[in-house]
């Protein structure tokens, strides 16, 4: 039969295979369950990674308000200083597919693609806030500098940055991204409103330092920009001053000509959450102000000084999440579309687009690799066991076809025809099971990603199902369906090579399994379990000094790593062996009763022990997979709770920018809780824990962090056995009350040398 005839007969062959599979659905149940479970597990692992990438990308880019910073090309003279012409470039950029918003912005100078350690990257400076005065706020003895900028970016002069926003930043997608961080007041809803009200939006740290609230007024606000030339700082009446940036590297100092702009009668429209730092390519935690508050001449000078750029927002939902490479490829595609030459106001300009999201993806990719690596380590045993269930299910199902194949051979069926018949039926079962497992895994992943604990879900934050790449989908199908077809082909070939008399026989000659090996594996697992229990339980502390039954460190380490798997696999094999004795046990117990009297002869010598044994192994492995998943979920929740207890010591840690009374703190937290979407009421209690870093009075180079815990905090905090010395938690808390101090952790013990029993005096 040539290729065309095969294609023409494919619909009829498929229909016959489906009908045959449906008639033999009882014997195909094992194949379906094996392929279904393998497809479900493998797809879940892959889809979970894709879902994590999507969640990481969404959460990680919340601090990035812009996707691209579009600036003039560094090596080209194709540039302009006309503010109106530069703003009009946004109209052309918005014609690009997936472009959502665009506005002119001014802030940190362009670095022109310099690396993080390049000179130009270091020399690029932001617009610097220098002075604030206001009748509603107190700025006396308040330091408005921003030293954190040097810790989260290239060296600067430490001033709080200013960012000027065009009209496009007050509506559309950019308005949504800006306003999402607002914690007090409201982000202006239009550029005209922002200019009319002379609105500024300030970070929470600056508001706390000056006791500023939304609606307050700044009588004067001064900021400076770096001029394009030294002309403003020279001549008879200079309007600028020279400023120097001193770096640690030799001969790397830089001089700026700074020009001051003064704005009056500004209104604080909103205060935003400034705990998240964005890309160092733009200024971090700035004071936002409308671009149109400054004069046309100042705008031109700011553009000439490379402070101005176009902020572009793209449709982030269009980014592929199934693969890091595909997401980065999409970002590069957008970058090449945005960058290039543009015609504006009769002139040609050349722009370059600086990707703000790629660095975030690269950072979260590293984190994702660790998370996925940990997940894969946990999921590999489940995947292996699911494949084992698949193989045993295939074995059990195909064994039922042995006599059928032999009888068809007696009736004159050809080997090729029998092989096609079996493989067609296997193909229908396998493809159906793979598709069912794939769809169920994709549908279940949003629930998995919304899990907040063991069997606890947050359904108000459900994410859409992740999309797997075509390669991942085909790979899953090849692994599951391919194993089924290859195994079915091999078993069918073995049946065809078997003597007809042996194939028709009810009991086939089989090689006896190595049951002794099963018991050895199970025994080693029991030894590892016993050793672990004796090492942990206090009642065995006197036996081998609490070291368990394994003295050799190398052997103890091997059993600690592989012992659980040996116990798992060995236990499943032993239990399946016991399960295969089920018919014999039922015959022994109930053989003389009317219940089994009629089927006693069928049970005896039926040769079903091997099939029952395989079925028992499938059941045990399936139950173990479910049990392991449940234990992992519960253990993960317990680990998260212990980690929170160790890091915070309570359910919530709140750091106030200024001192407040305990009653005020409780009131604020209670109000915040009640304003949330939780349906549960909360009783809030508070305790103060002071944290210091102290050094020894006789050695200033030796120090340690110190926490001062009040008596009420001692009873309120969540103490664990790992946090306090000794094994008895209550006794440790009593010693803490009596003695007053204790050290925690090997680092403090080593640095302070507390093992010698010395006393210490801290400064």
Q: Which helix (H) or strand (E) holds 700?
A: strand 699-709
User: Which pLDDT belongs to residue 86?
Assistant: 94
- What is the tally of helices (H) and strands (E) in the chain? 25, 17
Pseudo-torsion of CA 478, 479, 480, 482, nearest 10°? 60
pLDDT in tens, 113-126: 444 444 555 577 88
The proportion of the chain whose per-residue pLDDT surpasses 90, expressed as a percent, equals 18
Token code pair at residue 418: 């029998």
Distance from first CA to last CA of the chain, Å, rounded?
93
Pseudo-torsion of CA 321, 325, 330, 335, nearest 10°? 130
Is 664 or 510 the better-scoring residue by pLDDT?
Answer: 664
- Report strand pairing: 254-272 vs 199-203: parallel
Lowest mean pLDDT among 133-147, 223-237, 380-394: 380-394
User: Which pLDDT belongs to residue 322?
Assistant: 64
pLDDT, averaged across the chain: 75
Question: What does the alpha-carbon distance between residue 153 and residue 122 come to, in Å, rounded to a whole number?
Answer: 9
Question: What does the alpha-carbon distance between residue 390 and residue 429 come to, in Å, rounded to a whole number?
Answer: 12
Buried b (16+ CB within 10 A) or exposed e, 308-345: bbbbbbbebeebbbbbbeebbebbeebbebbbeebebe
How far is the CA of 569 from the CAs of 392, 565, 606, 618, 619, in angstroms? Answer: 14, 6, 28, 12, 13
Question: Which spans in 468-514 are helix H?
Answer: 470-497, 500-504
User: Which pLDDT belongs to residue 116?
Assistant: 43
pLDDT in tens, 614-633: 666 667 766 776 676 666 66
pLDDT at 110 over 70: yes
pLDDT at 683 over 90: no
User: Which pLDDT belongs to residue 392?
Assistant: 67
pLDDT at 713 over 60: yes
User: Which pLDDT belongs to residue 103?
Assistant: 95
The proportion of the chain whose per-residue pLDDT surpasses 70, expressed as a percent, equals 60
- DSSP 3-state of 447: helix
* Residue 570: pLDDT band with limits 50, 70, 90: confident
pTM summary value? 0.63
Question: What does the alpha-carbon distance between residue 470 and residue 204 come to, in Å, rounded to a whole number?
Answer: 45
Cβ proximity of 574 and 519 under 8 Å: yes
Lowest mean pLDDT among 425-439, 497-511, 529-543: 497-511
Where do the domains of the chain lie?
1-64+357-507, 65-356, 512-647, 662-756
Handedness of CA 573, 576, 580, 581 (dihedral sign): positive
pLDDT in tens, 31-46: 777 788 778 888 887 7
Question: What does the alpha-carbon distance between residue 21 and residue 421 come to, in Å, rounded to a whole number?
Answer: 10
User: Which pLDDT belongs to residue 397?
Assistant: 65
Backbone angles phi, psi at 651, to 5 degrees: -75, -25
Place of tokens 């607002």: 182
pLDDT at 393 over 90: no
Chain-centroid distance of CA 18 in Å reads 42
Return the closest-CA partner of residue 324 out of 284, 378, 363: 363
Backbone angles phi, psi at 454, to 5 degrees: -70, 115
Which CB contacts under 8 angstroms, 24+ apart, belong to 478-482? 479/38, 479/42, 480/35, 480/38, 480/39, 480/42, 480/390, 480/430, 480/433, 480/434, 480/437, 481/35, 481/427, 481/430, 481/431, 481/434
Pseudo-torsion of CA 697, 698, 700, 702, nearest 10°? -100
pLDDT at 20 over 60: no
Question: What does the alpha-carbon distance between residue 692 and residue 709 come to, in Å, rounded to a whole number?
Answer: 12
Is 747 or 554 the better-scoring residue by pLDDT?
Answer: 554
Task: Label residue 354 exposed, middle or buried (CB < 10 Å: 0-12, 13-18, 19+).
Answer: buried
- Report strand pairing: 308-314 vs 699-709: unpaired
């Amino acid at each position: 039969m040539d290729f065309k005839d095969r294609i023409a007969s494919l619909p009829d062959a498929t229909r016959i295979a489906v009908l045959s599979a449906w008639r033999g659905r009882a014997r195909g149940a094992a194949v379906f369950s094996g392929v279904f479970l393998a497809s479900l597990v493998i797809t879940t692992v892959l889809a979970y990674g894709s879902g994590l990438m999507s969640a990481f990308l969404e959460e990680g880019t919340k601090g990035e308000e812009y996707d691209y910073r579009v600036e003039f090309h560094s090596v080209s003279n194709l540039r302009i200083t006309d503010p109106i012409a530069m703003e009009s470039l946004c109209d052309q950029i918005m014609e690009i597919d997936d472009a959502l918003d665009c506005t002119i912005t001014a802030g940190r100078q362009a670095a022109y693609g310099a690396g993080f350690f390049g000179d130009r990257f270091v020399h690029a400076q932001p617009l610097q806030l220098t002075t604030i005065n206001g009748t509603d706020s107190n700025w006396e003895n308040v330091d408005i500098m921003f030293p954190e900028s040097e810790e989260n970016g290239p060296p600067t002069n430490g001033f709080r940055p200013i960012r000027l926003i065009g009209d496009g930043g007050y509506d559309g997608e950019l308005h949504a991204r800006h306003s999402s961080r607002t914690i007090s007041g409201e982000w202006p809803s239009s550029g005209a409103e922002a200019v009319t009200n002379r609105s500024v939006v300030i970070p929470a740290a600056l508001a706390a330092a000056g006791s500023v609230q939304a609606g307050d007024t700044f009588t004067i606000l001064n900021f400076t920009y770096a001029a394009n030339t030294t002309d403003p700082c020279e001549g008879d009446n200079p309007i600028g001053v020279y400023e120097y940036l001193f770096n640690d590297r030799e001969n790397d100092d830089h001089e700026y000509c700074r020009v001051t702009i003064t704005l009056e009668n500004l209104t604080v429209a909103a205060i935003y959450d400034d705990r998240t730092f964005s890309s160092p390519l733009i200024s971090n935690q700035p004071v936002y102000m409308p671009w149109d508050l400054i004069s046309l001449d100042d705008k031109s000078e700011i553009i000439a000084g490379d402070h101005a750029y176009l902020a572009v927002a793209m449709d982030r939902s269009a980014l592929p999440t199934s693969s890091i490479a595909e997401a980065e490829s999409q970002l590069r595609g957008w970058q090449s579309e945005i960058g290039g030459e543009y015609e504006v106001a009769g002139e040609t300009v050349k722009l370059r687009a600086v990707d703000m999201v790629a660095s975030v993806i690269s950072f979260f990719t590293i984190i994702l690799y660790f998370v996925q690596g940990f997940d894969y380590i946990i999921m590999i045993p489940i995947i292996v066991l699911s494949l084992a269930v698949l193989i045993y299910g295939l074995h059990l199902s195909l064994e039922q076809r042995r006599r059928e194949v032999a009888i068809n051979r007696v009736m004159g069926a050809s080997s090729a025809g029998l092989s096609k018949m079996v493989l067609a039926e296997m193909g229908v079962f396998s493809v159906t099971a793979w598709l069912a497992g794939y769809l169920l895994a994709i549908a279940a992943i949003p629930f998995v990603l919304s899990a907040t604990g063991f069997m606890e879900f947050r359904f108000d934050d459900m994410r859409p199902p992740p999309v797997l790449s075509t390669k991942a989908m085909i790979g899953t199908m090849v692994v599951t369906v391919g194993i089924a077809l290859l195994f079915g082909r091999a078993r069918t070939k073995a049946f065809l090579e078997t003597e007809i008399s042996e194939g028709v026989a009810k009991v086939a000659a089989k090689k006896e399994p190595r049951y002794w090996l099963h018991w050895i594996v199970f025994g080693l697992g029991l030894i590892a379990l016993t050793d672990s229990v004796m090492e942990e339980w206090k009642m065995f502390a006197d036996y081998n000094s609490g070291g368990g039954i394994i003295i050799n460190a190398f052997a103890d380490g091997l059993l600690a790593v592989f012992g659980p798997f040996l116990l798992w696999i060995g236990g499943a094999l032993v239990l399946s062996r016991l399960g295969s004795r089920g018919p014999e046990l039922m015959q022994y117990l109930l053989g003389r009763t009317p219940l089994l009297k009629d089927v006693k002869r069928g049970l005896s010598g039926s040769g079903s022990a091997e099939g029952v044994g395989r079925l028992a192994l499938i059941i045990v492995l399936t139950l173990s997979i479910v049990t392991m998943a449940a234990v992992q979920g519960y253990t993960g929740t317990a680990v998260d709770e212990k980690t929170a207890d160790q890091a915070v010591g309570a359910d919530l840690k709140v750091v106030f920018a200024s001192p407040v009374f305990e009653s005020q703190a409780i009131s604020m937290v209670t109000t915040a809780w009640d304003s949330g979407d939780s349906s549960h009421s909360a009783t809030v209690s508070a305790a103060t824990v002071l944290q210091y870093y102290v050094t020894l009075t006789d050695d200033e180079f030796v120090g340690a962090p110190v926490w001062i815990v009040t008596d009420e905090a001692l009873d309120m905090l969540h103490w664990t056995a790992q946090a306090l010395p000794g094994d008895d938690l209550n006794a440790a808390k009593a010693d803490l009350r009596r003695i007053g101090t204790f050290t925690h952790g090997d680092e403090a013990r080593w640095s302070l040398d507390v093992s010698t029993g010395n006393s210490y005096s801290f400064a």
